[in-house]
Amino acid sequence: MKTEKEFHDFLENGDKYYIPNLTIDCAIFGYHGKELKILLAKWRGLDGWGLPGGFIKKKETLSNAATRILKEKTSLDKLYLKQFHVFGDSEFRRKEKEGLSFSPGNNRYLLPKNSWLHERTISIGYYALVEYSQVNLMTDYFIEELVWQDINQVPKLLFDHNEMLSYALRNMRINLYHIPIGYNLLPNKFTLPEIQSLYETILDKKLDRRNFSKKLLKLELIKDTKEVKKIGQHRSPKLYQFDMKKYNEALKNGIVLAI
Amino acid sequence: MKTEKEFHDFLENGDKYYIPNLTIDCAIFGYHGKELKILLAKWRGLDGWGLPGGFIKKKETLSNAATRILKEKTSLDKLYLKQFHVFGDSEFRRKEKEGLSFSPGNNRYLLPKNSWLHERTISIGYYALVEYSQVNLMTDYFIEELVWQDINQVPKLLFDHNEMLSYALRNMRINLYHIPIGYNLLPNKFTLPEIQSLYETILDKKLDRRNFSKKLLKLELIKDTKEVKKIGQHRSPKLYQFDMKKYNEALKNGIVLAI
DNA sequence: CCAAAAGTGTTGCGGGTACACCCATGG
DNA sequence: CCATGGGTGTACCCGCAACACTTTTGG
């Protein structure tokens, strides 16, 4: 959605290209500075923050749609994406909208009463894990601004997006014990303290160093690179990286991580 | 969908009452004769079996829609229902359909080329656990026949319904360890051997009697009724029933069942 | 030499698994 | 009294949690 022409075409004829009534919203998690971050989008004209989202093209698979929407916002195509829930029950999702308006540039654009965008939407929630440092945030005609927000400082969001986020987070935390994470959240090479800190941040609890390393290494998902990381006036921790063969097997077959 | 008038109205104007492009399909599990059963529907005119399903009304919540669809087929409203996945990626779900026809009674009805029913549909999968003996199967203008099929003898189904069923089953088996089941699958009063057999059937493996009873009783979800069940020429097993207060708490908060 | 962080091994306890004997019932 | 299934207790073992000392580094 780069030009004003595209934008107006979308408002007027979007229902020819996209499936109406159905959207995808993404809870995009990143990790930085020992904080778990969520990507929030400020919608033009709506004067509020929400999760990034979009419509599904008429002939597109759901996974492609979710990947596309994410790529539009973050420029990433290497990420972990998972469908976690469909939202169609809340007050907001049961009724049609009215008087929606958008403000591309500085022009306020009020949607006509019978616009396809006023119809009720049911939203498929996906969550994504992405590598913070690789993300290149990109706004467009709908999204005025994108920011990474600490998961503990999320404001009141538009629509039912707070509920979505809370579902996403709960789901992600449960999945943590059954699928490997980290490949999409950490730099290529990382230390044990770093990955431990990632788990601690996501789970919001302290873990025992010795037990954590034993358990993680037993899974054999990461391997010693024989390099170390200089961290100044302290002992240099070893650098590890994921064994992609085993990591992908683990993604497929699941793991049991008892931390 | 009881009368022919309703039926034709649905074919022609359904998109005024229902959200197009989006359906709900239900994997309905029942338990009988030590077999896990799945409810299959024979669709008129399509000459094949599939999972029961339906459309969502324009102003209806998803859960209401799923409950309604189930009630139409089974007359039940007391059941466990869980959303497990959205299907929109398979070959079948990416393209529009063509030449759909239905055969209510003995009249073949070929849908017009531009019918709303020819559009691509994305389907939300729900699975349900129901008490076999309470079910009253009800056919209609679309469903010619409904049968309970042993889970191990499911034929090739229409569309992507085999894939759906396999997802539902996997999901249900995983959930087994985290949410209580049985209330919707067993008669009101049941014996320990009966509920053990239920778990064995669903998980498709033998469990140790002594350990099973210890673990289950420790959860305190079931209580002794002080009655016994006569089973003929053998010792009469005790009858238990669910403690609904604790059962509902467990539904909300989850359990850890290590069997 | 010191402060701060990383690396590593051992022990004890609890829970899960494996296992066997007695009891009730009806024929 | 016998065949069949139901009910129950114990011992062992493994795995998790708890825990402390040594090593490295740069200032």
* Range B4-175 classified under CATH 3.90.79.10: yes
Predicted confidence (pLDDT) per residue in B101-127, tens digit: 776 666 777 888 889 989 999 999 999
Query: What single-letter DSSP state applies at residue B156?
Result: P
The mean pLDDT value for B61-78 works out to 94
Write the single-letter amino acid at A165.
L
Model confidence at A45: pLDDT above 80? no
* Chain A residue with the nearest C-alpha to that of B18: A21
Averaged pLDDT of chain A: 93
Query: How many angstroms away from the CA of B98 is the closest CA of chain A?
Result: 15
Residues 207-226 of B with CB under 7 A from strand C: 208-211, 214-215
The more confidently predicted of residues B149 and A133 is B149
Is A173 an interface residue toward B (CB < 8 Å)?
no
Indicate the domain borders of chain A: 4-175, 190-253
Which distant-in-sequence residues (6+ apart) come within 8 Å of B38 by Cβ? B27, B28, B29, B30, B51, B148, B149, B151, B154, B165
- Measured from the Cβ of residue A106, the count of other Cβ atoms closer than 10 Å reads 5
Averaged pLDDT of chain B: 93
Is B255 an interface residue toward A (CB < 8 Å)?
no
Model confidence at B1: pLDDT above 80? no
Residue B252: exposure state from Cβ atoms within 10 A (0-12, 13-18, ≥19)? exposed
CB B46 within 8 A of CB B164: no
Task: Report d(CA A210, CA A192) in Å as an integer.
Answer: 10
3-state SS assignment for residue B118: helix
Task: Report d(CA B150, CA A63) in Å as an integer.
Answer: 32
Distances from the Cα of B203 to the Cαs of B28, B35, B172, B213, in angstroms?
17, 11, 10, 16
Task: Report d(CA B189, CA B225) in Å as an integer.
Answer: 8
Is B19 an interface residue toward A (CB < 8 Å)?
yes
CB contacts of B93 in chain A (<8 Å) are 61
Answer CATH for B192-253 from 3.40.50.720, 1.10.10.10, 1.10.579.10, 3.10.20.30 = 1.10.10.10
Write the single-letter amino acid at B82.
K
Positions in chain C where some atom is under 7 Å from a protein CB: 3-10, 15-20, 23-27
The residue among B177, B202, B198 whose CA lies nearest residue B187 is B198
Predicted confidence (pLDDT) per residue in A190-230, tens digit: 999 999 999 999 999 999 999 999 999 999 999 999 999 99
Nucleic strand C within 7 A of Cβ A231:
yes
CB B1 within 8 A of CB B9: no
Distances from the Cα of B186 to the Cαs of A213, B33, B34, B167, B179, in angstroms?
44, 11, 11, 23, 15
Range of weakest confidence among A134-143, A156-165, B50-59, B217-226? A134-143
Nearest protein residue to nucleotide C20, judged by CA and C1' positions:
B210
CB B164 within 8 A of CB B87: yes
CB B123 within 8 A of CB B93: yes
pLDDT-above-90 percentage for chain A: 80
Nearest protein residue to nucleotide D17, judged by CA and C1' positions:
A211
Q: Which two tokens stand for residue B166?
A: 């396999």
Task: Report d(CA B104, CA B5) in Å as an integer.
Answer: 11
Give the per-residue pLDDT at B4. 81
pLDDT band at B180 (very low <50, low <70, confident <90, very high): very high
Alpha helices in chain A (DSSP H): 4-17, 62-74, 91-94, 161-175, 192-203, 209-219, 244-253
Is A19 an interface residue toward B (CB < 8 Å)?
yes
Percent of residues in chain A assigned helix, strand, coil, to nearest 5: 35, 30, 35
Query: Is B19–A21 a contact, with Cβ atoms under 8 angstroms apart?
Result: yes
Model confidence at B2: pLDDT above 80? no
Query: How many angstroms away from the CA of A27 is the closest CA of chain B?
Result: 17
pLDDT-above-70 percentage for chain B: 97
Residue the block writes with tokens 């990955």: A195
* Range A190-253 classified under CATH 3.30.465.10: no
Residue the block writes with tokens 């403000």: A103
Q: Which two tokens stand for residue A54?
A: 């979009």
Parallel, antiparallel, or unpaired for β B48-50 and B222-228?
unpaired
The mean pLDDT value for B73-84 works out to 92
Give the per-residue pLDDT at B141. 82
Task: Report d(CA B216, CA B193) in Å as an integer.
Answer: 12
Task: Report d(CA B216, CA B257) in Å as an integer.
Answer: 8
Model confidence at A130: pLDDT above 80? yes
Write the single-letter amino acid at B187.
P
